[in-house]
C-alpha cells in the first residue's frame, strides 16, 4: 500500500486567496481521501480563522507585506522575513510534503522558497489577470502555474502555464436556484428588476456612498436592491433607505446565501477582486465593476479591463462612482441588448471545473 500524499498549501491574507485554496484542498481530499493537507498562512490574517473552520490545520508565519505608503513601517520586515523563512524551513522538513501549492499572499513566499530549496516540487495558482510579485519570483522553480485568465504567458514561462480558472464555492458552480424563489427569500418582488451590490466581505465605502446617494433614482426607476454593506456602513445604509422611503430593499452587512443573491439579481455592482470576477463569470450576470484602486499593483483594474476589453462587463473608476455609478446602472437596466451581450461574453470566461483541473495538474506532478 502506497503512503498517503502530503500537501502543503500556502498563502492567504484575503478571501480571494483563501477560498480558492480551501476549494483546492477539498478537491484533493475528494480525489485522494488519504491525503494529508497542511496550510501555512500569515499570523493575524483571516486564514488563521477561516482555514480551521474549513477543517484543516494551519501554521502561522510572522510574515507581513511591505507597506508602500509608509516606508518607516517596514523597519521590522527583514526580521519577520528571516523568522518566517526559518519557521517555513522547519515546517517543510517536519511535514515532508510531496508538493507545495502557492496561492499568493504573504506566506506563500517563504513557504514555497523553502520547499523549493529542500527539493519539493511546487505548483502556483495565480488568481488575477496581473501576476503578483511573489508568484513571478516563484515561477522559476514551479512545475506548473495554474492561471485564471488567458494570455498569462507574458508573466510566466509559457510551457508551465495552464488556463484552469479560479476555484469557487460549489454552491455558485451548481447554481440552480429559481429566480422567483430567490427573490422570495430576500422578501423582494418578482415584478421588478433587482440590483445586487457587493463590495467584498468588508463592504466598499465608495460603492456604498454612491449607492446611498442614488437611492432616490433607483426607487423612481422601479428597481429593487440587495445591498451587502459591510458592518461599518450598515446603519448609514438603512438610515438612507428609510429617508428615501425605499422599501424594495434587502440590506445586510454580509450576505451568506450568495447563491440565492446571484440567482435573484438581474444586474450586479461589484469590486473586481479575482474571486468576485470568477463568480460573475460562472453566474453569467451583467456587471458593473468598480476596481479597488489601492489593490496591490492595481490588479483589480487589470482584472476588470480584461472583461471590459472583451465587452463582458462595464467599469466605473472608484474616483467617479459618485457621478457615474447609478446612471450607468440605470442605463444598463434599461438596455436588454447590452445585458444580453454582457451575459454571453462574460460566460466565455467561466471555468466551472477549475478545482478539478488544478488537482489534475497536482496529481500529474507527483505521479498520483
What is the three-class DSSP state of 168? coil
274 annotated ligand binder? yes
Upper half-sphere CA count for residue 16 (Cβ side, 13 Å): 24
Q: How far apart, in whole angstroms, are the C-alpha atoms of residue 2 and residue 208? A: 54
Q: How far apart, in whole angstroms, are the C-alpha atoms of residue 267 and residue 289? A: 11
Map grid coordinates 440605470 to a residue: 330
277 annotated ligand binder? yes
Sheet of 287-289: strand order equals 249-252, 224-228, 194-198, 267-270, 287-289, 314-315
84 contacts 63 by C-beta, under 8 angstroms = yes
300 annotated ligand binder? yes
Residues sharing a CB contact under 8 Å with residue 49, sequence separation 6 or more, in sequence order: none
306 annotated ligand binder? no
245 annotated ligand binder? no
169 annotated ligand binder? yes
50 contacts 22 by C-beta, under 8 angstroms = yes
321 annotated ligand binder? no
In DSSP notation, 8-59 reads EEE--SSHHHHHHHHHHHHHHHHH-TT-EEEEEEETTSTHHHHHHHTT-EEE
55 annotated ligand binder? no
| Cell (9 digits) for 182 | 430567490
54 annotated ligand binder? no
287 annotated ligand binder? no
> What is the rounded radius of gyration, in angstroms, for the C-alpha atoms of the chain?
21
Question: Distances from the Cα of 342 to the Cαs of 36, 128, 199, 287, 315, in angstroms?
Answer: 42, 20, 20, 8, 12
Please, is 365 exposed, middle or buried when counting C-beta atoms within 10 Å of its C-beta (0-12, 13-18, 19+)?
A: middle
16 annotated ligand binder? yes
Q: Which residues are annotated as a binding site for UDP-N-acetyl-alpha-D-glucosamine?
A: 14-16, 128, 169, 201, 274-279, 300
Q: Which residues are annotated as a binding site?
A: 14-16, 128, 169, 201, 274-279, 300
Amino acid at each position: 500500500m502506497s503512503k498517503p500524499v502530503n500537501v502543503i498549501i500556502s498563502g492567504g491574507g484575503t478571501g480571494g486567496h483563501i477560498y480558492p485554496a480551501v476549494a483546492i484542498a477539498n478537491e484533493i481530499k475528494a480525489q485522494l481521501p488519504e491525503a494529508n493537507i497542511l496550510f501555512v498562512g500569515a499570523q493575524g490574517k483571516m486564514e488563521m480563522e477561516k482555514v480551521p473552520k474549513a477543517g484543516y490545520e494551519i501554521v502561522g508565519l510572522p510574515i507581513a507585506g511591505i507597506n508602500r505608503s509608509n516606508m518607516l513601517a517596514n523597519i521590522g520586515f527583514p526580521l519577520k522575513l528571516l523568522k518566517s523563512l526559518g519557521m517555513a524551513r522547519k515546517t517543510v522538513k517536519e511535514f515532508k510534503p510531496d508538493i507545495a501549492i502557492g496561492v499568493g499572499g504573504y506566506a506563500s513566499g517563504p513557504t514555497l522558497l523553502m520547499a523549493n530549496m529542500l527539493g519539493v516540487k511546487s505548483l502556483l495558482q495565480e488568481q488575477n489577470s496581473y501576476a503578483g510579485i511573489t508568484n513571478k519570483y516563484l515561477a522559476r522553480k514551479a512545475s506548473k502555474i495554474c492561471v485564471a485568465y488567458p494570455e498569462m504567458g507574458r508573466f510566466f514561462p509559457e510551457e508551465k502555464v495552464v488556463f484552469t480558472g479560479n476555484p469557487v464555492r460549489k454552491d455558485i458552480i451548481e447554481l440552480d436556484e429559481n429566480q422567483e424563489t430567490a427573490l422570495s427569500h430576500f422578501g423582494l418582488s418578482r415584478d421588478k428588476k433587482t440590483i445586487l451590490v457587493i463590495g467584498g466581505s468588508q463592504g466598499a465605502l465608495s460603492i456604498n456612498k454612491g449607492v446611498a446617494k442614488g437611492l432616490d433614482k433607483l426607487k423612481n426607476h422601479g428597481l429593487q436592491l440587495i445591498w451587502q454593506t459591510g458592518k461599518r456602513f450598515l446603519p448609514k445604509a438603512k438610515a438612507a433607505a428609510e429617508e428615501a422611503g425605499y422599501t424594495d430593499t434587502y440590506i445586510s452587512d454580509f450576505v451568506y446565501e450568495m447563491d440565492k443573491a446571484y440567482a435573484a439579481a438581474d444586474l450586479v455592482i461589484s469590486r473586481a477582486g479575482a474571486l468576485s470576477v470568477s463568480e460573475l463569470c460562472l453566474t453569467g450576470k451583467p456587471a458593473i465593476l468598480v476596481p479597488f484602486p489601492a489593490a496591490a499593483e492595481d490588479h483589480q483594474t487589470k482584472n476588470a479591463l480584461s472583461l471590459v476589453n472583451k465587452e463582458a462587463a462595464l467599469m466605473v473608476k472608484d474616483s467617479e462612482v459618485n457621478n457615474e455609478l447609478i446612471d450607468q446602472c440605470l442605463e444598463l437596466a434599461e438596455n436588454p441588448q447590452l445585458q444580453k451581450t454582457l451575459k454571453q461574453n462574460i460566460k466565455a470566461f467561466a471555468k466551472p471545473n477549475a478545482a478539478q483541473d488544478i488537482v489534475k495538474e497536482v496529481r500529474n506532478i507527483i505521479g498520483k
